[in-house]
Amino acid sequence: MRKNSQLREKGLGVQCHYIPVYFQPYYQDMGYKKGVCSVGEDFYQREISIPMYPIMKTSEIRSVIQALEATFKVI
């Protein structure tokens, strides 16, 4: 199971904010293919965006941290 699915099961709303632009159909139709920027694609496969916003409560921050620690086995 992917880590983002595990985090969602813990109630953490994670998502991906960076998608290589040439993955979009418009650019695919222009001839761009996957593999154009391997570093960007590697980042895309590994990155997640976690909940954070200016008015987060301390309890919400702790919940995010706990979910991350439990999922990634951080000590």
**pLDDT tens by residue, 7-55:** 888 888 888 888 899 999 999 999 999 999 999 999 988 888 899 899 9
* CA distances (Å), origin 65, targets 38, 49, 52: 30, 13, 11
Q: Is residue 3 predicted with pLDDT exceeding 80?
A: no
The CATH-assigned architecture of domain 3-72 is Alpha-Beta Complex (3.90)
Name the pTM for this structure: 0.66
- Give the distance, in angstroms, between the CA of residue 66 and the centroid of all CA atoms in the same chain: 17
Work out the average pLDDT over 57-61. 95
Measured CA to CA, the distance from residue 19 to residue 40 in angstroms comes to 9
